[in-house]
Amino acid sequence: MPTPLILFDVDLTLIRTNLAGRAAMTEAFRGLFGVDDATAGISFDGRTDRAIFEEAIALHGLANGDLPAVYERVIRAYLEALPAALAARSGGVLPGVEALLDALRGRAAVGLATGNMRLGAKAKLAHFGLWERFAAGGFGDDTPVRAHLVRLAIENLAAAAGVDPDPGQAVVIGDTPLDVEAARLAGARAMGVATGSYTVEGLRESRADFVVPDLATPGTLEMLLG
Ligand SMILES: [Mg+2]
């Protein structure tokens, strides 16, 4: 039997950080450029860190003709600010996550498909003791395009598990219509989980293959492995 490839989004799918990521980004722009509230008005839902940072840099006219160099400085400052922001905003692991990861052990390859940059995802998940649970992933610093990130996540996870990178065996779990759309574009199935800002109905409208209110919902494991 082929090995199922199960890929999780991070924010509001596995954990809630109470906007620690946004706070660390704001802190980075304040420290480097003296810009207050640099991320005001920028949507974070389902987008990659790279896209969000580049939008904020452009919005405040900070690129100075060298976007890559400015981007590098911003992400360094962001990663420095992130641990304190996580500690200050007591977030948590979302319902059912740990039990589901336990149940998937030995039955599926488990990885990440997240818009977070790799080190950002690591800081967030390590803060809640979850980082070691994931064999591989696709991250927001690999590409600004979420569908590409899912394809990379499938390839990286399959390589780590020693199986074929077959999108037909992959299920992506996320809390936004963008997660669902990216999964479908990559040829994977999508499970929407309504622990973020979208309702069960909203995620159904985005044509997710499965939708659950949270990952503690009975039957979630069977949907993922079925
Ligand atoms: Mg999310």
What are the distances in angstroms from CA 206 to CA 43, 97, 170, 193, 225?
A: 18, 23, 18, 12, 22
d(CA 116, CA 122) in angstroms, rounded, equals: 9
Q: What is the pLDDT of residue 143?
A: 82
pLDDT tens-place string over residues 85-140: 999 998 999 999 999 999 999 999 999 999 999 999 999 999 999 999 999 999 99
Which DSSP letter does residue 214 get? S
Using DSSP's 3-state secondary structure scheme, residue 44 falls into: coil
d(CA 28, CA 128) in angstroms, rounded, equals: 22
pLDDT at 141 over 90: no
Q: What is the pLDDT of residue 24?
A: 96
Q: From 134, 118, 35, select the one nearest 82 (Cα to Cα).
A: 118
Comparing 146 with 74, the larger pLDDT belongs to: 74
Distance 183 CA to ligand 1 centre (A): 13
Q: From 221, 76, 58, select the one nearest 141 (Cα to Cα).
A: 76
Q: What is the mean pLDDT of residues 143-172?
A: 94
Rg (CA), the chain: 17
Confidence bin at 147 (pLDDT 50/70/90)? confident
pLDDT tens-place string over residues 183-213: 999 999 999 999 999 999 999 999 999 999 9
Q: What is the pLDDT of residue 64?
A: 87
pLDDT tens-place string over residues 24-71: 999 999 999 999 999 999 988 778 899 899 999 999 999 989 999 999
Q: Which two tokens stand for residue 39?
A: 């991320």
Q: What is the pLDDT of residue 159?
A: 98
Distance 29 CA to ligand 1 centre (A): 23
Distance 34 CA to ligand 1 centre (A): 29
What are the distances in angstroms from CA 217 to CA 29, 34, 107, 209?
A: 39, 45, 19, 16
Q: What is the mean pLDDT of residues 216-222?
A: 98
Q: What is the pLDDT of residue 45?
A: 79
Q: From 56, 59, 36, select the one nearest 48 (Cα to Cα).
A: 56
Distance 164 CA to ligand 1 centre (A): 27
Distance 196 CA to ligand 1 centre (A): 7
Q: Which two tokens stand for residue 40?
A: 């005001």
- pTM surpassing 0.75? yes
